[in-house]
Amino acid sequence: MSATETLTVEDKKTKSLTMRALVFQGKHQIGLKEVPIPTPGYGEVVMRVTLTTICGTDLHILRGEYPVKPGLILGHEPVGVIHEIGPGVTGYEIGERVLVGAITPCGQCNFCLSGNWSQCGGPIGGWKFGNTIHGAQAEYLLVPHAQANLAKIPDDLTDEQVVLLADIASTGFSAAESADLKLGDTVAVFAQGPIGLCATAGAKLKGAGLIIGVESDPVRQEFARSMGAQVVLNHEKVDVVEEIRKLTHGRGVDVAIEALGTQATFENALKILRPGGTLSSLGVYSGKLSVPLEPFAAGLGDYKIVTTLCPGGKERMRRLIELVQRGHVDLRMLLTHHFSLDQIVEAYQLFGERRDGVIKVAIKP
Amino acid sequence: MSATETLTVEDKKTKSLTMRALVFQGKHQIGLKEVPIPTPGYGEVVMRVTLTTICGTDLHILRGEYPVKPGLILGHEPVGVIHEIGPGVTGYEIGERVLVGAITPCGQCNFCLSGNWSQCGGPIGGWKFGNTIHGAQAEYLLVPHAQANLAKIPDDLTDEQVVLLADIASTGFSAAESADLKLGDTVAVFAQGPIGLCATAGAKLKGAGLIIGVESDPVRQEFARSMGAQVVLNHEKVDVVEEIRKLTHGRGVDVAIEALGTQATFENALKILRPGGTLSSLGVYSGKLSVPLEPFAAGLGDYKIVTTLCPGGKERMRRLIELVQRGHVDLRMLLTHHFSLDQIVEAYQLFGERRDGVIKVAIKP
Amino acid sequence: MSATETLTVEDKKTKSLTMRALVFQGKHQIGLKEVPIPTPGYGEVVMRVTLTTICGTDLHILRGEYPVKPGLILGHEPVGVIHEIGPGVTGYEIGERVLVGAITPCGQCNFCLSGNWSQCGGPIGGWKFGNTIHGAQAEYLLVPHAQANLAKIPDDLTDEQVVLLADIASTGFSAAESADLKLGDTVAVFAQGPIGLCATAGAKLKGAGLIIGVESDPVRQEFARSMGAQVVLNHEKVDVVEEIRKLTHGRGVDVAIEALGTQATFENALKILRPGGTLSSLGVYSGKLSVPLEPFAAGLGDYKIVTTLCPGGKERMRRLIELVQRGHVDLRMLLTHHFSLDQIVEAYQLFGERRDGVIKVAIKP
Amino acid sequence: MSATETLTVEDKKTKSLTMRALVFQGKHQIGLKEVPIPTPGYGEVVMRVTLTTICGTDLHILRGEYPVKPGLILGHEPVGVIHEIGPGVTGYEIGERVLVGAITPCGQCNFCLSGNWSQCGGPIGGWKFGNTIHGAQAEYLLVPHAQANLAKIPDDLTDEQVVLLADIASTGFSAAESADLKLGDTVAVFAQGPIGLCATAGAKLKGAGLIIGVESDPVRQEFARSMGAQVVLNHEKVDVVEEIRKLTHGRGVDVAIEALGTQATFENALKILRPGGTLSSLGVYSGKLSVPLEPFAAGLGDYKIVTTLCPGGKERMRRLIELVQRGHVDLRMLLTHHFSLDQIVEAYQLFGERRDGVIKVAIKP
């Protein structure tokens, strides 16, 4: 019996038809709404969300800094259980626990087939949830291109152990990966928010030698050390460029990771990069971004600047799950606060104001 | 009998002790001077220069835009004959014809041993000739780290066939190499001066599909076609970004090569880059350089920006010579004008004013 | 109106229901049969084949050396016109001319999402046509995972210009790509059959310096020169290893391409490889394959041996089409013989016996 | 005052002129001899050895399996103090503590300038110590190409902490590096001798997920777990291929590391490799090596086989030292036994017979 056959007409009748979801209604306006539970079309699956979280990008949307359509359900970090399977999806069964990445590539367009899965169909096109289609801060979630995006969760892992893989771990780790970090590289990570902390963890995972975190918030400084930074510099108290130059005997770092999206961090990252080094940028920039020419050696320093949007797809998720399962990384401590879906507006406030040492909030529908 | 032993005291007596050389004397001041012929120390060789040329960088120096010490002999593109061999250099004989790259890495410092030969010892450190030590616009030239830098020229190749490999070919070709250009990639090359023309040739050599040149000068447009551009756009007459978008069916190019060093070309290069594409920058920037955020997808487009300083060393030169010898590339047409060393100041004027369809000038000491 | 809606019931009625196809019936038994025209399911398309060809692999199947099920339609190199579009396929219209690669990845399994598209679902799993599903030597062909595999053919290109891209060009070119061939690399290509000739062309496309072909057949030797070999050695007349050593001044080649699948060619390829070089293997080996330890430096020579199955998918085909369209490669001369589908058994004989200077045969249904 | 000037004639007089060294005298014949202390020539340095060890390769030499000239001092893993500095070496001072890799590239030949430092000058040419020149099992050691090979040891590290970096760590770690191991890759390491244990540690350092060690010796099994293997299989008790297939849900491993040099381990490594995976070989093979064709998918599985000779040079050593200094790896436990240079013949016996749980022996001159 295939998965789709398990859904009888009877089942459908008894299922509730609406769900609660966090809906964006316009700048600074979000609220829980009762909306229809989605139905999967060809190649799609509907999952019942069991854990999700709020991302810095959601705050950008809320503040009107990143435009999405009013009426959209936000969120892009879902853990859950398969609820209904559309035609054309094979190898899955209702009831299986799955993790879906923030980025859901189709796998079949020219961009995907070039290996640029995050740019599925065009610029930033892989990011669909809570951007161009309804997102994960809801009781149920329609997963597009489900065949390419449902990663099964082993029984011995909890939702909390994997939820942060969907976005911040995948994004953060990618900084070192995109920089092609080599064994023994010296790395500086600018800003130790959720993404920066994962970038720090990723630098360690990939085999960095000295890892330097840059952060002024004492709580985040402490997290940075837990994630693998041997030195944490407070840019409000010391001249970071000067300090890193000393720490590296004048040489600079092999890889500088920008994890905030500001001119200041970008500039410092470039300033302490050794010739031939790589600036791996994860930040979302707004306003203006300029390249300081002296540290850029006027274009002659063999510098590389690489940017990465969160890698997605079920194979990426499978690999990240493997890292957690084998004990190489544990991100649970970053889930500093827990809320039910009913409390999500409150959770947005806490997270948006960075109150109370918050790093990430767990939202349980 | 080793090469050095062939130099008897008698030989040294009969050799002339001075030579003519083009000396930088200060901003806008250059002139031919009679100066001592250098003597090789440990690991060094003195070559008699038989052909050299003038580079755009030499103009920057002349105009005071790039600082070097007054008294310095300029030039960094030497072809010649081994004249005297210092101790510790093996495998070479006096009288052998050699090409030396503009960049002369030591091969033994931490940067070289990381594969960053152009950044030998530190930022731009591989560029020594006519920058930190005396250069090639002279009758004789002292070659540092000779063991790593003398590339023998096969008998069947003329000086004219190889002189442009020292800098513009090595630099130009590197744009496609650093971008890791893939078979069938669409490429746009912004500016078709000497470096841009070689970048166009390099894109073809590496297996590009459609190659688009951007240039307003009709002479250079024609050269661009000879070097491999199938389409040449005049940015003074058409909206380059718009045109390239049409040519690529809205997709943009896989690799955009910047070969001028201006905000406008850098910006256009980024604007027509497909998500996940690479901006390969060869230009030397001055003033300010800013990154337009929309085409940069605010940092989320998986874009890469890579910069490359001319790769040097004898193995690089050997490979480029091989490409010429096997008929894959012929740059002689770019040597549009010929001068003797006596006429070099005149040659600087012609080259500096870009008169008379000049691309590169051949200087024969 | 979507493409699928253009198919009215009336259309379906008037269409013929059967087609001719070359069916494998057992070892040494093939024949044209009248079989049902396929109907596309979810994600599938049926194309009307307008040009195809026979591959060496088809001969292996015919000879019982590679097992497939009796009753299978052979062939995996289709050019044609979209005939019927199944549900879930978007962006295509009936009547469009398309090229489909020999390898048809799904794009959505863990292997595809790792970039191993040819190994879709498991070992050699991307090769479906004429292997695990019906193939292209027929009037109509069902294309699986059509969204990922239909590459549109520009109007200015003929079927003959693109048909060889489906397999031999994609395979042949991949030898240099998988070897990560560098500008100026010296390359030797062992055997100049259809695949080897394309490997020679691919080495040239990727920027090799000296390209040495190894082949005893005079017709193929001539083709090798046309494809870019500067030197062609007859292994029946000279000691190939010795000759190549001379040609490379004792150094050996940077990349050795094996394009036959025998112990002798594999061994020679390894013998003339420089330390740190890459043996790029395209051959299908049978019997035994051993690694000669002396040229392998007992495992200490930093040698790489890489194997590649034909890269497929519509993006790969698009890029190869681009190379043809921009004039970088022209493979039409390799279509030495032309047959109608009715004559295909005869074509198999000619091709199988390598009679009459045959390289590839064009089959027109 | 330069370093070389510190050596006055007086100093030279008072220095002893001979030293003890372990000399190879022919098959199965080694012994301590009194031999002259070397004097550095141009570009050379003599170091006083403070710690060294014995390598499996030394045993091969002793057993006549790898030919070297009688009279040669063996050993290639030196830690020591700079004793005398030849002309042309800058940036070092007498008395500085240094680590020198087993491989000592010149940095200036065509191979080195291609990035193939281990193949300096030709096949295996980077390996000089105890192979083509006198080695490290002595009181003093002449270091060739000293500028490229002396890595300074930070004061806070002991000799014991760094001595194994010279060869087994550099070699072992390189398995994962050459395989381009990706985050979350599943890895199997065949044999857990000194090299295999370091390969296990290297797989962990580079970000592997599941790491499976294969080893029958209980002591080494325990070490394998310490180095990062989550599962250790005894090939004498279980069907390793079968077990690994189960552990990977039928998929096979992404990277299989061969660290012994036998047909059986090579074959198993290939058998459990997933399509598109990489067999990273560190072993030194003797006798015959054949490639089993079924797991090799007859050449169609997109498999890669890569071999690596220990990476050397001072930059490599600097990076490995950095990994130790920052606490990412600690290999001291592998120094299971300690001897003085006087006891070195005894140490060879213990090590050769693999008695007493020996992994590596520390030899103190």
pLDDT over 60 (residue B51): yes
Residues of chain A contacting B306 with CB distance shorter than 8 Å: 303-305
Chain B residues with beta carbon closer than 8 angstroms to that of D113: 105, 107, 117, 148, 313-316
CA distance C223 to C357: 10
Tell me the three state secondary structure of residue B276. Answer: strand
Whether the pLDDT of residue C1 is over 80: the answer is no
> For C206, what's the count of Cα atoms within 13 Å in the CB-facing half-sphere?
25
Nearest to B113 among D42, D109, D314 (CB): D314
The mean per-residue pLDDT over the stretch C245-267 comes to 97
Residue D4 or A334, more confident: A334
**Residue pointed to by tokens 């863990």:** C110
Domain identity same for C129 and C31: yes
Range D3-30 average pLDDT: 71
pLDDT at position A287, please?
84
* Residues from chain D contacting residue A198 (CB–CB below 8 Å): none
pLDDT of residue A7: 39
Q: Are the beta carbons of A304 and B302 separated by less than 8 Å?
A: no
Pairwise CB contact (< 8 Å): D183 & A230:
no
Q: Is residue B346 over pLDDT 90?
A: yes
pLDDT at residue C270 greater than cutoff 90: yes
- The answer to whether the CB atoms of A118 and B283 lie below 8 A apart is no
Taking CB atoms and an 8 Å limit, are A205 and D207 in contact across chains? yes
Residue of A nearest to C152 (CA): A110
Hey, which residues does C213 pair with through a beta bridge? C189, C232
Only one residue has tokens 């005079």, namely C218
Burial code (b: 16+ CB inside 10 Å, e: under 16) for C285-308 equals beeebebebebbbbbbbbbbbbbb
* Residues B2-11 pLDDT 10s: 333 343 444 4
Contact check, Cβ <8 Å, A108/C145: yes
Chain B residues near residue D109 by CB distance under 8 angstroms:
147
C281 with C331, same domain?
A: no
Q: What's the CATH code of the domain at A14?
A: 3.90.180.10
Distance from CA of C120 to the nearest CA of A (A): 12
| Closest CB to D299 among C287, C291, C307 | C307
- Mean per-residue pLDDT for D259-285? 97
Q: Which of D251, D261, D300 sits opposite C307 (nearest CB)?
A: D300
What pLDDT is recorded for position B7?
39
Residues from chain B contacting residue A300 (CB–CB below 8 Å): 124, 127, 284, 307, 309
Interior angle at CA B133, CA B132 and CA B137, nearest 5: 115
Residue percentage of chain D with pLDDT more than 90: 95
Residues D8 and D153 in one domain: yes
- Chains with 3+ CB–CB pairs under 8 A to D are A, B, C
Average pLDDT of B86-109? 97
| Residues A201 and A212 grouped into a single domain | yes
Cα–Cα dist D192/D185, whole Å: 19
Rounded CA separation A291/A307 (Å): 15
In this structure, are residues B360 and B250 in contact, taking their beta carbons and an 8 Å threshold? Answer: no
Is pLDDT at D13 greater than 70 in this prediction?
no
> What does the mean pLDDT of chain B come to?
95
| Domain end (from A307, A330, A356) | A307
Q: What is the domain count for chain D? A: 2
Please report all neighbours of B, defined by 3+ CB atom pairs within 8 A.
A, C, D
**Is there a contact between A319 and D185 if contact means CB atoms under 8 Å apart?**
yes
Biggest alpha carbon–alpha carbon distance for chain D = 72
Residues D285-314: tens digit of each pLDDT? 998 899 999 999 999 999 999 999 999 999
What pLDDT is attached to residue B27? 96
Strand-pair category, A211-214 with A151-152: unpaired
| Two structure tokens written together for A293 | 């020419």
Is residue B230 located within the same domain as residue B290?
Answer: yes
Q: Are B43 and B24 found together in one domain?
A: yes
- In this structure, the answer to whether residues A210 and A273 fall within a common structural domain is yes
Query: Nearest chain B Cα to A310, which residue?
Result: B300
Q: Does residue D10 have a pLDDT over 60?
A: no
- Short-list C148, D276, B350, B317, CA closest to A110: C148
CATH number of the structural domain spanning residue B256: 3.40.50.720
Mean pLDDT of C102-113: 98
Please name the member of D87, D110, D148 whose beta carbon is closest to the beta carbon of B108: D148
Cβ contact A253:B271 at 8 Å: no
B184–chain C nearest CA distance, Å: 5
Residue B13: CB partners within 8 Å, gap ≥ 6? none
Query: Partners of C304 in the beta sheet?
Result: C278, D306
**Cβ contacts of A327 on chain D, cutoff 8 Å:** 230
* D318 vs C178: CA distance, rounded Å: 31
Taking CB atoms and an 8 Å limit, are D209 and A177 in contact across chains? no
Which of C282, C290, C306 lies closest to D304 in CB terms? C306
Q: What is the C-alpha separation between D116 and D119, in angstroms, rounded?
A: 5
Q: At what angle do helices D168-178 and D194-205 cross, to 10 degrees?
A: 50
Cβ atoms of residues C130 and C74 within 8 Å = yes
pLDDT of residue C9: 41
3-state DSSP call for residue C104? coil
pLDDT at C287: 84
- Confidence band (pLDDT; 50, 70, 90) for C11? very low
Same domain, D153 and D30: yes
Residue A15 is predicted with a pLDDT of 56
Nearest Cβ partner of D209 from A173, A183, A326?
Answer: A326
CA distance B199 to B25: 33
Distance of alpha carbon C82 from alpha carbon C89, whole angstroms: 12
Q: Angle formed by the axes of helices B168-178 and B194-205, to 10°?
A: 50
Q: Please check whether residues B210 and B235 belong to one and the same domain.
A: yes
The 10 Å CB-count burial string (b at 16+, else e) for B4-37 is eeeeeeeeeeeeeeebbbbbbeeeeebebeebeb
Name the phi and psi angles at C115, rounded to 5: 90, 5
> What pLDDT is stored for residue C16 in this prediction?
72
Residue of D nearest to C308 (CA): D302
How many C-beta atoms surround the C-beta of residue C242 within 10 A? 12
* Residue C207, C-beta contacts closer than 8 angstroms, at least 6 positions apart: B205, B206, B207, B323, B328, C181, C182, C183, C184, C185
Structural domain containing residue B57: 3-167+310-364
> What residue type is B24 in one-letter code?
F
- Identify the residue whose tokens are 């091709």: C351
**Per-residue pLDDT, B334:** 98
Shortest Cα–Cα distance, D283 to chain C (Å):
6
If asked whether residues C34 and C116 sit together in one domain, one would say: yes
CB contacts, 8 Å: B110 with chain D: 314-315, 318
CA distances from D262 to B130, B364, C224, C301, D219 (A): 55, 61, 39, 17, 21
Residues constituting chain D:
365
Residue B101: pLDDT above 70? yes
CB D220 within 8 A of CB D240: no
Are D122 and D13 found together in one domain? yes
Which DSSP state fits B153? P
pLDDT in tens, chain A (365 residues): 333 334 344 444 445 799 999 999 999 999 999 999 999 999 999 999 999 999 999 999 999 999 999 999 999 999 999 999 999 999 999 999 999 999 999 999 999 999 999 999 999 999 999 999 999 999 999 999 999 999 999 999 999 999 999 999 999 999 999 999 999 999 999 999 999 999 999 999 999 999 999 999 999 999 999 999 999 999 999 999 999 999 999 999 999 999 999 999 999 999 999 999 999 999 999 888 999 999 999 999 999 999 999 999 999 999 999 999 999 999 999 999 999 999 999 999 999 999 999 999 999 99
Separation in Å, CA D86 to CA B88, D12, D36: 12, 13, 17
Closest residue to A326, CB basis, from D177, D230, D328? D230
Q: Over the stretch B318-340, which tens digit does the pLDDT of each residue have?
A: 999 999 999 999 999 999 999 99
Nearest to B102 by CA among B255, B300, B314, B303: B314
pLDDT tops 50 at residue D7: no
- Of residues D210, D206, D203, D155, the one with CA closest to residue D325: D155
Which tokens go with A163? 């939820």
Contact between residue C328 and residue C228 where contact means Cβ atoms under 8 Å apart = no
Last residue of a domain, one of A307, A323, A345: A307
Mean pLDDT over C235-246 rounds to: 98
Decide: C35 and C18 in contact? Cβ < 8 Å: yes
Chain segment C24-40, per-residue pLDDT in tens: 999 999 999 999 999 99
Clarify whether residues D163 and D182 are in a common domain: no
- Three-state SS string across chain D, please? CCHHHHCCHHHHHHCCCEEEEEEEEECCEEEEEEEECCCCCCCCEEEEEEEEECCHHHHHHHCCCCCCCCCCECCCCCEEEEEEECCCCCCCCCCCEEECCCECCCCCCCCHHHCCHHHCCCCCCCECECCCECCCCECEEEECCHHHHCEECCCCCCHHHHHHHCCHHHHHHHHHHHCCCCCCCCEEEECCCHHHHHHHHHHHHCCCCCEEEECCCHHHHHHHHHHCCCEEECCCCCCHHHHHHHHCCCCCEEEEEECCCCHHHHHHHHHCEEEEEEEEECCCCCCCEEECCCCCHHHCCCCEEEECCCCCCHHHHHHHHHHHHCCCCCCHHHEEEEEEHHHHHHHHHHHHCCHHHCCEEEEEC
Those residues of chain D whose CB sits closer than 8 Å to some CB in chain A are: 173, 177, 182-186, 202, 204-211, 230, 318-320, 322-323, 325-328
Closest alpha carbon within chain B to C210: B326
Give pLDDT tens digits for B132-172: 999 999 999 999 999 999 999 999 999 999 999 999 999 99
- Count CB atoms within 10 A of the CB of residue D338: 13
Q: List chains adjacent to chain C, taking adjacency as at least 3 C-beta pairs closer than 8 Å.
A: A, B, D
Chain B residues near any Cβ of chain D (below 8 Å): 42-43, 87-88, 105-110, 112-115, 117, 145, 147-148, 313-316, 318
Domain boundary among C289, C307, C325: C307
With a CB cutoff of 8 Å and minimum separation 6, the contacts of A119 are A111, A125, A126, A309, B274, B275, B276, B301, B302
Would the CB atoms of B113 and D43 count as touching at under 8 Å? Answer: no
Q: How far apart are the C-alpha atoms of D365 and D355, rounded to whole Å?
A: 23
